[in-house]
Amino acid sequence: MINAYTVIGQPIAHSLSPMIHSLFGELTQRRITYTRTEGTDASFEGIVKQWHDRGGKGCNVTAPFKEQAVQVCSHLARSADRAGSVNTIHMRRDGELVGHSTDGAGMMHDIERNIRFPVRGRRVLILGAGGAARGVVGPLLDARPSALHIANRTVSRADAILQYFADDPAAGVPMSASSYEALSEQAPFDLVINATSLSLAGSLPTLPDGLMTPQALAYDMMYSREATVFMRWAHDQGATVSDGFGMLVEQAAEAFLVWEGVRPKTRMAWPRLLELLNAH
């Protein structure tokens, strides 16, 4: 039997997910198909239900439907409940549509296992307080940093994330929020994660010198062939830098695990994935 998957988003033409999952299918010797589906706010729910009715085994959900996807699911895994969004829907044989959020686990796998930067005991800063930021807070707290600070242009959105996690079982970690302007009072940080959408526009918030410790890791959730503005700034500040390509690959591996019960050995796929990204 061939298991059918799709990724739903808007726009979706440039999604790398079909390429990544096809490679995972080869690596794990699973017979799968994986397509792209363009959605709209009005059509999203119908697309998911039709995919299920036609025997689809699951779908990925990307911008701008990750929050809307929560309503479509009949059950949420803890990852999705904490993130307040769904990027992976598992269409089970018993008819349940189970929502998962694999972005946070994917980012943590990339940071802690691929880059080998343990988060435990480190001071962590997240820039941005949108869906991507909220999605990684739970898995970051589970890794037990010594502090977690969220800076955002709209400080009330960062405060809302703090409030949401105030009762979380991992909430022993001191958390705080501020504007970018107030960041120098909180510095320095060992890990700075850029979860703003500014890299897409080739921009970054105004950040103070001395924001990072000398051994810091600066991680941009965005990925592209060239280093982002944030990565170039952080490199000039002396930090180790990474883009979010590893997060993309690892969140896909977590989704594949949900659907197929096996986690692809992503390190084996890395050279081919980079080749395909560069040819894209």
Catalytic residues, which ones? Answer: 66
103 binds ligand NDP (CB under 6 A): yes
Q: Which residue has the tokens 């298991």?
A: 3
Q: Is the dihedral of CA 44, 80, 59, 248 positive or negative?
A: positive
Ramachandran angles phi, psi of 126, nearest 5°? -105, 125
- Rounded to 10°, the helix 266-279/17-28 angle is 140
- For residue 87, the minimal CB distance to ligand NDP (Å) is 8
30 binds ligand NDP (CB under 6 A): no
154 binds ligand NDP (CB under 6 A): yes
Per CB under 6 A, which of residues 200..219 are in contact with ligand NDP?
200, 205
125 binds ligand NDP (CB under 6 A): no
- For residue 88, the minimal CB distance to ligand NDP (Å) is 12
- For residue 96, the minimal CB distance to ligand NDP (Å) is 25
- For residue 49, the minimal CB distance to ligand NDP (Å) is 24
221 binds ligand NDP (CB under 6 A): yes
Q: How far apart are CA 202 and CA 236, in angstroms?
A: 17
* Cβ partners under 8 Å of residue 47, min gap 6: 8, 37, 39
2 binds ligand NDP (CB under 6 A): no
197 binds ligand NDP (CB under 6 A): yes
Give 52 or 100: the residue with its C-beta nearer to ligand NDP: 100
Tokens standing for residue 209 = 């010198």
Give 52 or 152: the residue with its C-beta nearer to ligand NDP: 152
Q: How far apart are CA 26 and CA 264, in angstroms?
A: 10
Strand segments (E) across 56-96: 58-61, 75-76, 88-91
How many other C-beta atoms lie within 10 A of the C-beta of residue 92?
14
Could you list the residues that contact ligand NDP (CB under 6 A)? 63, 103, 128-133, 152-154, 157, 195-200, 205, 221-223, 244, 247-248, 251
